Amino acid sequence: MTSVMTPAPARSTASGRPALSHRLAERGIDRTLLLLLPGLVFLVALFVYPFVYGLSLSFQPAASHKTTDALYNYKQFFHDPYQRDTIWITLKIGLPAAIINVLASIPIAYRLRGRVRGKRLLTTALVIPITLGTVLTATGMIEYFSGTGWLNRVLMSLHLTDVDHPIPLLHNYWGVMLSLIISGFPFAFLLTLSYLSGIDPSLESAAAVLGAGWFKRFRDITFPLLAPGLAMTFCLNFVLAFSVFPSAVLLGDGEGKTHVISIAAYDAAYQEYDYSKASAIAMIMAAVMLIVISVVLFGRAQLYRGSSGGKG
Amino acid sequence: MSNQRFDHLRLEKVTRRFGDKVVLDELDLHIAGGEFVALLGPSGCGKSTALNCLAGLLPLSGGGIWLDNKRVDTLPPERRGFGMVFQNYALFPHMSVRRNVGFGLRMRGVSRSETRRRVDAALRLVQLPQYADRLPGQLSGGQQQRVAIARAVVIEPPLVLMDEPLSNLDAALRLDMRTEIRRLHQSLGLTTVYVTHDQEEALSLADRLVVLREGVVQQVGTPEELYRSPANAYVAGFMGYRNLLPMTVTGGGGGLATATGHGMELTGVARGEVGGGPVIVAVRPEDFVVGEPPAGETNRVDVDIEVVEYHGRELAVQARLPQGQALLLRTPTRVARGDTVAVWVPRDHVLVFSDSGTTDGPPAEEAAGPSAGVAGTAAPNVSQARSAEADREHEVTPS
C-alpha cells in the first residue's frame, strides 16, 4: 500500500512544523485513499447492510408468534430436534466432502506440479465442472446415476447388479456427497496445485540428496510447507459444502438424511413466510461455519507460514 | 555409504540429453579422493547438468559413474550419500538451523545425542553456533549458505557437490566465503566437485579444473596448467586472454607464428597446428606495455584510447586498433581518452591458436566493461549470468 502513495513534498509552515498534508501522508492518509471508495460502497451495500439487516431481523420474531422475546427464533430452533439436527446433517455432509476433496487433491496436484505433459488438458477437464454450475451437474448426475442410468445399466449388463437392485446413488446422502465432490474437487485441486508450485523444488532435491526417500521427503518437507495452504483449501471447500442447497434439493431426499440447514432456512422463508425465523437460521448457519473455520485457522496459526522459497 | 573415503570417482562417457539436445557429451573424468575439482564454463555449458547427474537428481542418458568399484549412477539420490550445496541454499524454511543441519543425520538414524554433538561441531566449523535455533529466513545470505555447507558436510559424505554456491552473494561476501570453503576443504579433506562460471573462483579454489563448452570438455588440468597454457582459444578466453583477435598467419617456424590483421602484425607462440590461414591470437590485457618497445621486439601497434577506468595502481583501458577492432589493456602508465599511444607485447605472451571455426570471441561475460577479467582485478566479476538454460536445469527434479 505504502509503495503506491505519492510522497508529499516536504513543505514546512512558518512555525517549522511540516505541512498538514505531509504529516497526514506520513500516517498513510492521502488522496490515493479515494481509490478505496467504490470498493467500500460495494462492500457496505452488498455485504455489511444485508448482514446487519438480517441479524436485527432475526431478533424480531414474527407477529404471529405473539412474543416479545428477542431470542424466540433461536430458542425455537434449538428446541425443535428436527430443526436442530440440520446442523449435524449438514456437518456430516460438509466436513467429509471438504476432507475428501482436500485429501484427493494432494496426490494429483503433487504429481502434476512442475512441468508435466498433458497438464493443461487435465487441468481444463477438472475445471469444467466449476463452469457448469451445480444445477447442470445435478441434471447430468440424474441421467448418469439413476436406476435406469448409464452406470446401473453397465453394472447390470456386467451382472454386478440386477434390475431389482440398482445401486442407489440418487436422492440420498451419497447423491449429495457425490455432487459436492464433483463441484468442490476442482477448487481444491487448483488451490492445492498453486500452493504446491509455491514450494521451491530444490528443497525436495536437497532432502533427497541428504538421504530422504519419497515418503520422508513428503512427510518432512512438502507436507509441512503445504499444510497452511491445505487448511485454507479446506476452509473454502467447507464453506461451499456447508451452504449446499441446489444439490441437496435435486439429489438429496429433501426430508431425512439430507435435510440440510440451508433447506431449513429456505422452508422458513418461502414455505412459512417467516423471514425472521429464516434470518435466525441463516445466522446460526454462519456461526457454525465461523466456529469450524476458526478452529482450522487456529490450528493453521500454529504452523510455519513463512516463505517456502518457490515462485508463489 | 557415508563415512567412507574412496580412492577415486570415475565418470565414464557420462551423457545427458534433453530431447534432441545433447547437454553433456560423453564426459570422462577421474577424480581422486580428497581432490577439489571445479567444473568451469558459461551458463548452458552442461556443468550444472553434470553435477545433477552426479547427485542423482537427473538420470543419465548414457555412460556410468563409479565410486571405486561400485556403480552409483543407478542409485537414487538418497542412497548415494553425497552432500550437496545449492545455489539458492535450499534450506528447509520451516526448520531451525539445528534441524536443517541435523536432517541428513536424522535420515541416517544417528542417535539424538550423537546428532546434537555433530551438529554443534558442524556449526562451530562454519562459525554459526549462536544461530542454531533461528529459522533460515532470519539469517543473511552468507549465513544461510554457511548453514547449507554445514548441512552438506555434517554427514561426512564421500563427495561434496557445490552448485555455484557463491553466485547469490555480494562481492565482498563472496571473497570471504571463498576463503571459508577453501579452509573447510583443507581441514576436512572432503572430495569436492564445484560448479562455477567464475574463473577466479575456480582458479583460487580448485586443485583441478575442467573447462566445459556446450557439454564437451575443453581442457582438464591444474589451475596453473590452464592459466599458463590453455589448450584452445576458448579456454584462453576463460583464463584471462580477453583479447581474442581473428587474424591470418603469414609466417612462422620454430614454435612461433606471425599473424597479420586489424592493421598490425603480431608474432607469438604457436599452439597446436597453425599452418597458413585464419588463427585466433590471444593476449591478456595486462601483458600489453604502453610505450615504444625495446630493440628486437616487433609486436608494436598504435592504438586510440577510448575508455579509461581508474583501478588504483592500474588503469583498465579500452582502445581501438588502426582498423577499428577493440583492444583491452591494463597499464600503470597514465593515458587519457583521445590519446594515440604505441603499445607492444612480448612474443612469449602472445598465443596463436588455429581457428577451428568454433571460436566466436571471449566465452565469458562478453558485455562486461574493460575491467572485467581474471588476474589483477580488484573485485571479482559481479555479473550474475543466470541464463534460461541454467534455470531449466534446476527445474528438472525427480518426482
CA A70 → CA A83, A135, B278, distances in Å? 19, 37, 100
**What's the confidence (pLDDT) of residue B238?**
87
Q: Which DSSP letter does residue A6 get?
A: P
- The whole-angstrom separation of Cα B92 and Cα B78 is 16
Considering only CB atoms, which residues of chain B are within 8 Å of chain A? 55-57, 76-84, 86, 88, 90-94, 103-104, 107-108, 135, 137, 151, 155, 161, 394-395, 397-399
Among A residues 109-138, those touching chain B with beta carbons less than 8 Å apart: 111, 114-115
Q: How far, in Å, CA of B365 to CA of B166, rounded? A: 17
Question: How many contacts does A have with B, using Cβ atoms within 8 A?
Answer: 92
A123 pLDDT exceeds 50?
A: yes
Q: What is the average pLDDT across B49-58? A: 92
Assess whether pLDDT exceeds 60 at residue B161: yes
Using pLDDT thresholds of 50, 70 and 90, give the confidence band for residue A14: low
The pLDDT mean for chain B works out to 84
Please give the tally of structural domains in chain B.
Answer: 2
- State the average pLDDT over residues B343-358: 84
Query: Would you call B397 and A220 a contact, using CB atoms and an 8 Å cutoff?
Result: no
B365 found inside a domain: no
Residues B208 and B74 in one domain: yes
Q: Contact B397/B282 with Cβ under 8 angstroms?
A: no
| Total length of chain B | 399
- Within chain A, how many helices (H) and strands (E) appear? 15, 0
pLDDT at site A254? 60
B-chain residue closest to A111, CA distance: B399
Domains in chain A: boundaries? 85-301
Q: Which residues contact A21 (CB under 8 A, 6 or more apart)?
A: A8, A11, A30
Average pLDDT over residues A53-66: 89
Query: Is 90 exceeded by the pLDDT of residue A7?
Result: no
Residues B209 and B89 in one domain: yes
Residue listed under C-alpha cell 575508455: B307
Q: Is residue A23 scored above 90 in pLDDT?
A: no
Triad A43, A49, A54: Cα angle to 5°: 135
Q: Are A248 and A263 contacting, i.e. CB atoms less than 8 angstroms apart? A: yes
> Do both B190 and B254 map to the same domain?
no
Residues B199 and B61 in one domain: yes
User: What radius of gyration do chain B's Cα atoms show?
Assistant: 24
Calpha distance B345→A221 (Å, rounded): 59
Give the pLDDT confidence of B243-282 residue by residue, as tens digits. 999 999 888 778 888 998 888 889 999 887 777 788 999 9
Residue partners of B236: CB distance under 8 A and separation at least 6: B230, B244, B282, B351, B353
Phi/psi region, residue B376 (left: phi>0; alpha: psi -120 to 50; beta: rest), is left
Given a cut of 60, whether residue B293 has pLDDT beyond it is yes
The CATH class, in words, for A85-301 is mainly alpha
How large is the average pLDDT for residues A223-237? 93
pLDDT at B287: 93
Percentage of the residues of chain A whose pLDDT score is greater than 70: 93
Burial A207-242 (b: 16+ CB within 10 A, else e): bbbbbbeeebbbebbbebbbbbbbbbbbbbbbebbb
Helix or strand run (H / E) with residue A49: helix A49-58
Do B242 and B327 meet the contact criterion of CB atoms below 8 Å apart?
Answer: no
Closest-CA distance, A118 to chain B, in angstroms, reads 16
CA distance B130 to A80: 63
- Residue B112, pLDDT > 60, answer yes
Cβ-count burial B326-364 (b if 16+ within 10 Å, e if not)? ebbbbbeeebeeeeebebbbeeebbbbbbbeeebeebbb
Nearest CA in chain B to A200: B90
How near does any CA of chain A get to the CA of B105, in Å? Answer: 8
- Band (A74; pLDDT cuts 50, 70, 90): very high
Provide, as residue numbers in chain A, all residues whose Cβ is less than 8 Å from the Cβ of B93: 203, 225, 304, 306-309
Across chain B, the runs of DSSP E, i.e. the strands, are: 8-18, 21-32, 36-40, 62-67, 70-71, 83-85, 159-163, 191-196, 208-213, 216-221, 243-253, 256-261, 264-271, 277-283, 289-290, 300-311, 314-320, 326-331, 340-344, 351-354
Instruction: Tell me the nearest-neighbour CA distance from A221 into chain B, angstroms.
Output: 7
Q: Average pLDDT, whole number, for chain A? A: 86
* pLDDT computed for residue B236 by the predictor: 92
Average confidence (pLDDT) over B108-124:
93
**Residue B254: predicted pLDDT:** 80
Q: For the segment B33-48, what is each residue's pLDDT rounded down to a tens digit?
A: 899 999 999 888 889 9
What is the greatest pairwise CA distance in chain B? 75
Radius of gyration of chain A (CA): 26
Q: Does A213 touch chain B (CB under 8 A)?
A: yes
Q: Chain A: nearest CA to B398, how far in angstroms?
A: 8
Has residue B201 been placed in a domain? yes
Q: What is the pLDDT of residues B69-100, one digit of tens each?
A: 899 999 999 999 999 999 999 999 999 999 99
Q: Is residue B375 part of a domain?
A: no
CA distance B306 to B339: 8
Give percent of chain A with pLDDT exceeding 90.
39
Count of C-beta atoms within a 10 Å radius of residue A276: 21
The average pLDDT across B185-205 equals: 91
Q: In this predicted structure, what is the pLDDT of residue B329?
A: 92
Specify the pLDDT at position A303.
84
The reported pLDDT for the residue numbered B98 is: 95
Predicted local distance difference test score (pLDDT) of residue A120: 85
- Looking at the domain assignment, is residue B34 inside a domain? yes
Instruction: State the sign of the Cα–Cα–Cα–Cα dihedral B35, B41, B42, B45.
Output: negative
CATH code at position B149: 3.40.50.300
Task: Label residues B278-295 b or e (16+ Cβ within 10 Å = b).
Answer: bbbbbbbbbbbbbeeeee
Q: What pLDDT, on a 0 to 100 scale, did the predictor assign at position B344?
A: 93
Q: How far apart are the CA of A232 and the nearest CA of chain B, in angstroms?
A: 18
> Residue B313 sits in a domain of what CATH number?
2.40.50.100
Scanning every residue of chain B, which has its alpha carbon at the shortest distance from the alpha carbon of A213? B78
Strands of the sheet with B208-213, listed across from one edge: B83-85, B159-163, B191-196, B36-40, B208-213, B216-221
**Cell 590453455, residue located:** B230
Q: Do A114 and B399 touch (CB under 8 A)?
A: yes
Residue with cell 562417457: B13
pLDDT for the residue numbered A234: 95
DSSP letters spanning B36-63: EEEEE-STTSSHHHHHHHHHTSS--SEE
Considering only CB atoms, B398 lies closest to which of A208, A211, A309, namely A208
- Chain A residues within 8 A of B49 when measuring between CB atoms: none
Say whether both B91 and B195 belong to one domain: yes
Is the Cβ of A306 closer than 8 Å to some Cβ of chain B?
Answer: yes
- Minimum distance, in Å, between the CA of residue B135 and any CA atom of chain A: 10
In a domain, B110, yes or no: yes
Residue B315 pLDDT exceeds 50: yes
Given a contact cutoff of 8 angstroms between Cβ atoms, the answer to whether B278 and B355 are in contact is yes
For residue A309, the model assigns a pLDDT of 57
B135 and B91 within one domain: yes
The residue that leads in pLDDT, A38 or B2, is A38
Kindly report the backbone phi and psi dihedral angles of residue A148, in degrees, each rounded to the nearest multiple of 5, phi listed first: -110, 15
Lookup result for grid cell 461455519: A289
Q: What is the mean pLDDT of residues A248-275?
A: 85
Residue B371 domain flag? no
Note the pTM of the prediction, 2 decimals: 0.78
pLDDT category, A224, cuts 50, 70, 90?
A: very high
B45 vs B42: CA distance, rounded Å: 6
CB contact under 8 A, A203 and B92: yes
B362 CB contacts (<8 Å, ≥6 apart)?
B237, B242, B244
Among A161-175, B8-22, B27-41, the range scoring the smallest mean pLDDT is: A161-175
For A45-53, what is the mean pLDDT? 93
CB contacts of A206 in chain B (<8 Å) are 84, 86, 90-92, 151
Same domain, B75 and B202: yes
Instruction: Give every CB contact of residue B399 below 8 A, 6+ residues apart in sequence.
Output: A111, A114
Separation of alpha carbons A232 and A218, rounded Å: 19
The burial class, CB within 10 Å (0-12 / 13-18 / 19+), for A193 is: buried
| Residue at B381 is within a domain | no
Chain B residues within 8 A of A197 when measuring between CB atoms: none
Q: For residue range B94-111, list pLDDT tens digits in order.
A: 999 999 999 999 999 999
CB B201 within 8 A of CB B195: no
Residue A311 has pLDDT above 70, yes or no: no
- pLDDT score at B374: 40
Q: How far apart are CA B324 and CA A299, in angstroms?
A: 70
Q: Could you list the residue range(s) of the whole structural domain that residue B101 is in?
A: 8-227+388-395
Gap between the Cα atoms of A160 and A255, Å rounded: 30
Cα–Cα distance, B155 to B3 (Å, whole number): 8
Of the candidates A253, A258, A277, A257, the residue with the CA atom closest to the CA atom of residue A266: A277
What does the pLDDT average to over A146-161? 84
Looking at the predicted structure, is the pLDDT value of residue B388 above 50?
A: no
Range of weakest confidence among A224-228, A268-272, B95-99, B361-365: B361-365
Assess A219–B contact: CB distance below 8 Å, yes or no: no
Same structural domain for residues B199 and B247? no
More confident residue, A137 or A13: A137
Percent of chain B with pLDDT over 70: 88
